[in-house]
Amino acid sequence: MKLPDHSRAAVLRQYGTPLQIEDVPIPQEIEPGAILVKTDCCTICGTDVHLANDALARPVELPVIVGHEMTGTVAALGPGSERDSVGQDLRVGDRITWTRTNCGHCYMCTVAAKPTLCQNARAYMYETMERSPYLLGGFSEYVYVLPESGRVKVPDSVSSPLASMASCAFRSVIHAVEELGEIRHTDTVVVQGTGPLGLLATGVARMSGARRVIAIGAPEARLDLARAFGADDVLSVETLSAEERQAFVLDATEGRGADVVMEFAGIPQAFTEGLHLARRGGSYLLVGQLGQGEVTIKPSTFVNRNLRVLGSLAGGAKDYWAAMEFIRRHGADLPFERLISNHYRLDQVNDALAAMKQQTEVKPVVTFAEGA
């Protein structure tokens, strides 16, 4: 099959300026292990907004194609790409999502068995679109899946926007809960944050059978969504003080505090608050803290309260698979579709980014119409 020569893509050339729609070359040679996909859709993430405004801690090699939560249909398979990362057959026409790369021959990949922390990882939307294989970002009609990227077939019953969401927001939640260990039916779980990750974590805690799930966030529309995802109680950060929220959690747990607190809020102050929402001997899982902010803490807080505090970053191929399985399994129990907000065409991508920035939508999605 002859591949098209060019892919229309949204390119960031200079921080703080709108993305431009450009024609980017499509590699005509698919190397062993690689895949060329025709993009179905790419959901928008807070990280896309931060990258466009030069607010990321990691290096970015401009100009880049922005977007990293994408689902695509296999257009061409390189030699040796006939199976996905969990052993399922892959053919032209199958839908897949894929991970950043891990090399399989570094300390983190092998000894630590933490492929998400690979020392040679390459991620999508961080490398220039001026060098082959050009198409390493999601706001593009075609994307090039690198040979060292994990790839997972999307189940038929999982829509492409939900699969896209599972390729960043949800796999991070699934990975984090696995790092935590089990959520027990006796656990009271507090979820800090009602953005996409917090809402998904609320659903996971609910489906894990937690005794009580308490979500903390804002605005009111997000708290409604948290209820729909299974929160028994919602606490607003707009109408209640931190002291009032803590009093509620203590009251709900006979004065002990929550067995498990999970942080998806992102602001450093949430950490200070969360430390005092967890019971003695409880667990505190941090996922949202990616910025450079600081807070003051007393180290004895950890010791006196015998707290287990752990951070979790991103997720690997097994988490992509597990996230999509969770959606397939619980699609009737949880309103996943309510997380996907408006659909945008590629040439409206700047509007979609603005909606994400203003938090007027949960997960805007850029879709690629057939034949566009």
**Least distance (Å) from Zn ion to the CB of residue 159?**
18
Task: Please identify, using beta-carbon distances, which residue of 198 and 282 lies nearer to Zn ion.
Answer: 198
**Least distance (Å) from Zn ion to the CB of residue 252?**
32
Structure-block tokens of residue 333? 């129990």
- Residue 185 burial class via C-beta count within 10 angstroms: exposed 0-12, middle 13-18, buried 19 and up: exposed
**Least distance (Å) from Zn ion to the CB of residue 171?**
9
Task: Please identify, using beta-carbon distances, which residue of 169 and 278 lies nearer to Zn ion.
Answer: 169
Q: Quickly list H helices, the chain.
A: 46-52, 107-110, 160-165, 171-180, 196-207, 220-228, 242-252, 268-275, 300-304, 317-330, 349-357
Please report which helix (H) or strand (E) contains residue 286, including its range.
strand 278-286
With beta carbons less than 8 A apart as the criterion, state whether 169 and 200 touch. Answer: yes
Sign of the Cα torsion 27, 67, 228, 289 reads positive
**Least distance (Å) from Zn ion to the CB of residue 118?**
3
Give the bridge partners for 65, in sequence order.
11
**Least distance (Å) from Zn ion to the CB of residue 154?**
17
Q: Which residues bind Zn ion (CB under 5 A)?
A: 45, 47, 102-103, 106, 109, 118, 120, 168
**Quick check: bond before 219 cis, omega within 30?**
yes
Radius of gyration (C-alpha) of the chain in whole angstroms: 21
**Residue with smallest beta-carbon separation from Zn ion:** 45
Task: Please identify, using beta-carbon distances, which residue of 68 and 279 lies nearer to Zn ion.
Answer: 68
**Least distance (Å) from Zn ion to the CB of residue 47?**
5
Task: Please identify, using beta-carbon distances, which residue of 51 and 77 lies nearer to Zn ion.
Answer: 51
Q: What is the C-alpha separation between 122 and 291, in angstroms, rounded?
A: 21
**Least distance (Å) from Zn ion to the CB of residue 31?**
19
**Least distance (Å) from Zn ion to the CB of residue 218?**
21
Report the C-alpha dihedral over residues 313, 315, 316, 319, rounded to 10 degrees: 150
Q: Quickly list H helices, 26-102.
A: 46-52
Task: Please identify, using beta-carbon distances, which residue of 77 and 365 lies nearer to Zn ion.
Answer: 365
**Least distance (Å) from Zn ion to the CB of residue 264?**
13
Task: Please identify, using beta-carbon distances, which residue of 118 and 346 lies nearer to Zn ion.
Answer: 118
Give the 3-state secondary structure of residue 268.
Answer: helix
- The one-letter code for the residue type at 135 is L
Q: Minimal CA–CA distance to 10: which of 24, 29, 26?
A: 24
Task: Please identify, using beta-carbon distances, which residue of 43 and 188 lies nearer to Zn ion.
Answer: 43
**Least distance (Å) from Zn ion to the CB of residue 169?**
6
Task: Please identify, using beta-carbon distances, which residue of 159 and 164 lies nearer to Zn ion.
Answer: 164
With beta carbons less than 8 A apart as the criterion, state whether 3 and 24 touch. Answer: no
Task: Please identify, using beta-carbon distances, which residue of 102 and 194 lies nearer to Zn ion.
Answer: 102
Q: Minimal CA–CA distance to 199: which of 123, 271, 282, 287?
A: 287
Give the bridge partners for 188, in sequence order.
212
Task: Please identify, using beta-carbon distances, which residue of 169 and 215 lies nearer to Zn ion.
Answer: 169
